[in-house]
């Protein structure tokens, strides 16, 4: 069915392929737009990540400030310890100097008020940190959703592009198969034509040999006087036949389809022609013998001498005509040589076509290998994206754990605030006790003992407060360790983000390389289509040349028929000459 396609359908097929080339260009343009969109989204994500990093850096700075404030609070606590020591010394001297104890009490009040104000400031800062953490968590969820949506879009687009390229490869394979089948058919036809032309060349060579043998026989028959007289008439007839032959050659150029039917009957004609030649040789030998017998008789006649002079003039004319005939044969041989050169050129063109087909097949294999590499790279990119998603999930779990730890720290801070509140209440109670002691200290000496007991209780409370402060220090140390771990994890996450960005940049470069490879393949496909069109033009030229060869072979066949006719006329004239010789013998 492929061989029976008309040229119109083939042209339509090539138009369709050009349309598909435009579709291919549109699809590649769309892929380029999608890739530009992805790059813009990636830049947005990078900007958001930079913003988050800035916010994290701000948070770390605020944490450092908080740590500095905690250190300052610790220094203040130490100062308070010294002040408490001073108060204890002053309380010991309360028995002697109540006024100093009152001033110390007021100083303690002021320090408590300052501590309360600092505590309020710290609580406000903690609330602010909580709000910032909530904002960061919300931004993280938004970024995760955007990443998931972008990953889905990338996967869908990659699948679509893979399916499109697979369809294009299948279409190109089908076109290559069709072109290979067409080329095979043309090669077979050219081989058949070359075989026929070779057979015809062999026949022409055999005919040339036969012509040479005939020329030799004609040279041997120069001495025959009577045959030379009749030869002039024959030569005139041959001239007429040559003119007819030239007219028939022009007519037979249009009859190309009758060659196949005439080739079958050539062998039989050649056999008959050879039989005629053998008979002619035998007749010529008998004619030679008759000529030798008659030559002795003709020598006695003087009239025959005059006739001989006349015949010699005619012989010269005959030589001139034979030379013209030989020049015509040389022209025919030159045309045969030109035909052979054209055949060689056509064979060289066919060999070039075969080489180009082999190069196209090799390039097809190279494209298939590049496609396989592209698919492998694409699978590796997908696996890398999956690994990135796994790492992101791990980082999310770590962030959740950190958020839980932060919540635990908030709970601990609440507990510490409650304990501070209880200490404040106790301090208020102490203030009331001190006021009662003021009212009754001047009058009652017994209350001094109670004050001493109360001082001992305060010392116990002091020791408890010191223990609590040490616990707070331990908790602060644990918090510092947790913060350091957080910083280390943040640094590791930053490193992972840098590695992921490098991998993403490599993937982008690989995509750019793949796009360049696809553009090169598209350019090569267009170039190959142009080469195929050029090959088709060269094949058409070869077909035209083959048709010219067919026409020339038809002309040669017609020349063979004319020669056969001339040979038959020569035989008729030979029989007529024999009758004349017999009549001469009777005379």
CA 268 to chain centre: 61
Instruction: Give, in order, the Cα–Cα distances in Å from 242 to each of 61, 215, 292, 383.
Output: 116, 18, 33, 86
CA distance 512 to 299: 107
CA angle 187, 190, 7 (to 5 degrees): 70
CA distance 438 to 201: 148
From first to last of the 587 residues of the chain, give the pLDDT tens digit: 343 444 444 444 434 344 444 555 566 666 667 667 766 766 776 677 677 667 667 766 776 776 676 676 667 667 766 766 676 666 666 666 656 556 666 666 676 677 667 667 767 776 776 777 777 677 777 777 777 777 677 677 767 776 776 777 677 677 777 766 776 776 676 666 667 667 766 776 777 777 676 667 666 655 555 655 665 666 566 556 556 655 655 555 555 455 545 445 545 655 555 565 566 556 556 655 655 665 555 555 555 556 555 656 665 666 676 566 566 666 666 766 676 676 666 567 666 666 766 766 676 677 667 666 766 766 676 666 666 667 666 666 666 666 676 666 666 666 666 666 665 666 566 566 556 655 665 666 666 666 666 666 766 766 776 776 677 667 667 766 776 776 677 677 677 767 766 766 676 676 677 677 777 777 877 777 787 777 777 767 767 776 776 777 777 778 777 777 877 787 887 787 778 777 776 76
Instruction: Give, in order, the Cα–Cα distances in Å from 220 to each of 214, 261, 285, 291, 510.
Output: 10, 39, 10, 11, 89
- Sorted by sequence, the CB contacts under 8 Å of residue 548 that are 6+ apart come out as none
Q: Which residue matches tokens 């005959």?
A: 318
pLDDT at 228: 53
CB–CB of 558/248 below 8 Å? yes
CA distance 200 to 206: 10
End-to-end Cα distance, the chain: 78
CA distance 465 to 558: 135
For 421, the 3-state DSSP assignment is helix
Handedness of CA 470, 476, 482, 485 (dihedral sign): negative
pLDDT at 17: 43
pLDDT at 502: 73
Q: Which residue matches tokens 């001190």?
A: 434
- Sorted by sequence, the CB contacts under 8 Å of residue 306 that are 6+ apart come out as none
Of 39, 14, 1, which Cα lies nearest the Cα of 536?
A: 14
| CB-neighbour burial class of residue 41 (10 A; exposed 0-12, middle 13-18, buried 19+) | middle
**Helices and strands, counts by H and E, the chain:** 7, 0
Q: Which residue matches tokens 């010991």?
A: 92
Q: Which residue matches tokens 């400031």?
A: 121
Of 427, 460, 458, 426, which Cα lies nearest the Cα of 94?
A: 458
pTM beyond 0.75: no
CA distance 308 to 315: 10
pLDDT at 6: 42
Joined together, the tokens standing for residue 289 give 């013998």
CA distance 43 to 49: 10
Joined together, the tokens standing for residue 160 give 């679509």
User: What are the b/e assignments for 422-437, b being 16+ CB within 10 Å?
Assistant: ebeeebeebeeebeeb
CB–CB of 56/490 below 8 Å? yes
Joined together, the tokens standing for residue 72 give 């300052």
Q: Which residue matches tokens 């000496």?
A: 445
pLDDT at 470: 73
CA distance 193 to 183: 15
Handedness of CA 87, 92, 94, 100 (dihedral sign): negative
Three-state secondary structure along 303-352?
Answer: HHHHHHHHHHHHHHHHHHHHHHHHHHHHHHHHHHHHHHHHHHHHHHHHHH
């Amino acid at each position: 069915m492929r061989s029976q396609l008309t040229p119109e359908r083939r042209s339509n097929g090539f138009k369709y392929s050009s349309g598909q080339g435009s579709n291919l260009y549109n699809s590649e343009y769309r892929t380029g737009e999608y890739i530009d969109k992805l790059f813009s989204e990636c830049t947005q994500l990078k900007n958001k990540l930079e913003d988050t990093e800035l916010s994290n850096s701000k948070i770390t700075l605020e944490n450092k400030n908080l740590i500095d404030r905690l250190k300052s609070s610790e220094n203040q606590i130490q100062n308070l310890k010294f002040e408490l020591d001073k108060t204890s010394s002053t309380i010991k001297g309360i028995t002697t100097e109540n006024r100093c104890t009152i001033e110390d009490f007021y100083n303690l009040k002021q320090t408590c008020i300052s501590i309360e104000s600092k505590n309020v400031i710290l609580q406000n800062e903690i609330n602010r940190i909580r709000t910032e953490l909530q904002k960061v968590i919300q931004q993280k969820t938004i970024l995760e959703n955007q990443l998931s949506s972008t990953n889905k879009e990338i996967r869908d687009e990659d699948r679509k592009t893979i399916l499109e390229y697979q369809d294009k490869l299948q279409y190109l394979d089908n076109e290559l198969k069709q072109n290979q089948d067409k080329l095979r058919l043309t090669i077979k036809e050219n081989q058949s034509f070359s075989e026929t032309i070779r057979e015809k060349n062999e026949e022409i060579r055999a005919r040339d040999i036969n012509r040479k043998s005939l020329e030799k026989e004609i040279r041997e028959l120069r001495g025959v006087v009577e045959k030379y007289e009749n030869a002039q008439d024959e030569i005139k007839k041959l001239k007429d036949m040559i003119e007819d032959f030239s007219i028939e050659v022009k007519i037979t150029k249009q009859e190309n389809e009758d060659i196949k039917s005439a080739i079958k009957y050539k062998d039989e004609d050649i056999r008959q022609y050879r039989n005629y030649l053998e008979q002619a040789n035998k007749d010529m030998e008998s004619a030679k013998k008759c000529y030798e017998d008659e030559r002795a008789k003709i020598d006695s006649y003087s009239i025959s001498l005059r006739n001989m002079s006349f015949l010699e003039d005619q012989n010269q004319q005959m030589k001139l005509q034979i030379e013209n005939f030989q020049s015509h044969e040389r022209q025919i041989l030159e045309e045969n040589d030109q035909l052979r050169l054209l055949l060689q050129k056509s064979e060289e063109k066919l060999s070039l076509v075969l080489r180009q087909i082999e190069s196209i097949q090799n390039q097809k294999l190279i494209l298939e290998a590049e496609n396989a590499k592209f698919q492998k790279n694409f699978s590796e990119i997908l696996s890398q994206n999956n690994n990135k998603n796994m790492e992101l999930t791990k980082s999310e779990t770590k962030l959740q754990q950190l958020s839980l730890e932060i919540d635990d720290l908030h709970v601990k801070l609440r507990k510490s605030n409650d304990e501070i509140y209880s200490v404040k209440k106790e301090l208020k109670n102490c203030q009331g006790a001190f006021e009662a002691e003021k009212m009754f200290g001047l009058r009652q000496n017994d209350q001094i003992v109670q004050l001493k007991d109360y001082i001992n209780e305060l010392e116990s409370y002091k020791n408890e407060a010191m223990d609590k402060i040490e616990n707070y220090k331990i908790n602060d140390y644990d918090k510092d360790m947790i913060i350091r771990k957080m910083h280390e994890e943040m640094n590791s996450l930053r490193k992972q983000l840098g590695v992921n960005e490098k991998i993403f940049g490599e993937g982008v470069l690989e995509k750019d390389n793949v796009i360049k490879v696809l553009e090169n393949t598209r350019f090569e496909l267009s170039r190959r289509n142009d080469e195929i069109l050029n090959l088709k033009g060269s094949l058409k030229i070869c077909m035209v040349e083959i048709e010219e060869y067919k026409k020339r072979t038809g002309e040669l066949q017609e020349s063979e028929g004319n020669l056969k006719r001339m040979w038959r006329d020569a035989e008729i004239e030979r029989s007529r000459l024999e009758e004349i010789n017999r009549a001469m013998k009777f005379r």
